Amino acid sequence: MTNIAVIGAGTMGNGIAHVFAQNNYKVNLIDISQAALDKGLATVTKNLDRLLSKEKITSIIKAQTLNNITTYTSIAEGVKDIDLVVEAATENIDLKLKIFKQIDEEAPANAILASNTSSISITKIASVTKRPEKVIGMHFMNPVPIMKLVEIIRGYNTSDEVTKTIMDLSENLKKVPVEVNDYPGFVANRILMPMLNEAIETLYNGVAGVYEIDTVMKLGMAHPMGPLQLADFIGLDVCLSILNVMYDGFKNPKYAPCPLLVNMVQAGKLGSKSGEGFYDYSENRKAEIISKQFR
């Protein structure tokens, strides 16, 4: 397995492309927007420069990594001669099903189709293809070049052979793969998202402020980042989407998103990527706490 296609040049997609390319795989990075591809490559370059400045890679490795990435704005062209597709598009089920229908038609018959979804059923994604035994989840963690975990999700029909291949491949990327079964939220987000949601509920109910909640979890629980800051970093829209998937999947009210989270997303306050969430990320402020009541 040497030729990889990554669909989506956003935060996760460019990170996944970076990791494969740095480990000597040929990567086709695909996005419908050339601007998104340019931005994704700029991010890869910036992250390589950071590694270079810390003497974790050489200038030769940087050059080889960038040379291993080719960009495409056409899925059909980008998946034509590949061994593995990793889809890293927006966490939207309709979009993912549309993409998988297309890559199933365009990719070689022996290619494995993987999704970086953080919550959506791999079995459901696989159901729109003619190769459900070759569909699997590869849930990388953000930031991809740094985080070691890859959550490997087996769909109902995913074969043992495909699972082993992807587990071995993840180890070749110097990652730690962990196999889990296909239920809403899998393991990582089934545990993480209710915690973030409860932190938002705690703020919403006036128990404590942003600073106080995050400080308690950082100093008391040894978390590297408070839950509200982490939610901002993930994206409040992404958190809402994952909670909705789990709520729909389990029909359990404990997964129902906090009204404050819903309102903030509707208001366009999505966290660091929009410039404001529970913290202010505008140019003159470095993740300052917003001084207002969250209701």
**Going along the chain, which residue ranges are E strands?**
3-7, 26-30, 69-72, 84-87, 112-115, 135-140, 149-154, 176-181, 279-280, 288-289
Q: Which of 28, 106, 119, 151 is catalytic?
A: 151
Annotated ligand binding at 96? The verdict is: yes
Catalytic residue selected from 189, 197, 241, 276:
189
User: Per the annotation, does 121 bind a ligand?
Assistant: no
Is 195 annotated as belonging to a binding site? Answer: no
Catalytic residue of the set 118, 119, 121, 197: 118
The verdict on whether residue 13 carries a ligand-binding annotation is yes
Among this protein's residues, is 47 annotated catalytic? no
Residue 232 burial (10 A CB sphere; 0-12, 13-18, 19+): buried
68 in active site: no
Instruction: Give per-residue burial for 177-209: e unless 16+ CB within 10 Å, then b.
Output: bbeeebebbbbbbbebbbebbebbbbbeeeeeb
Query: Could you write out the DSSP letters of every residue in 59-116?
Result: HHHHHHHHHTEEEES-HHHHTTT-SEEEE---S-HHHHHHHHHHHHHHS-TT-EEEE-
Instruction: From the candidates 106, 139, 241, 276, give the one annotated as an active-site residue.
Output: 139
State the Cα angle at 203 between 200 and 208, rounded to 5°: 140
71 marked ligand binding residue? no
Please tell me whether 212 is known to bind a ligand: no
- The contacts of residue 242 (CB under 8 Å, 6+ apart) are 91, 118, 119, 185, 189, 193
**Number of residues assigned to the chain:** 295
- The answer to whether the annotation marks 273 as part of a ligand binding site is yes
| Cα 289 to Cα 78: distance, rounded to the nearest angstrom | 43
Instruction: Please check if 104 is assigned to a binding site.
Output: no
User: Residue 78, annotated ligand binder?
Assistant: no
33 contacts 115 by C-beta, under 8 angstroms: no
DSSP 217: I
Q: Tell me if residue 74 is catalytic.
A: no
Q: Is 253 helix (H, G, I), strand (E, B) or coil?
A: helix
Active site residue 3: no
Q: Is 11 annotated as a binding residue?
A: yes
Question: Which active-site residues does the annotation give?
Answer: 118, 139, 151, 189
Q: Residues at the annotated binding site?
A: 8-13, 31, 91, 96, 118, 142, 273
Q: Residues at the annotated binding site for NAD(+)?
A: 8-13, 31, 91, 96, 118, 142, 273
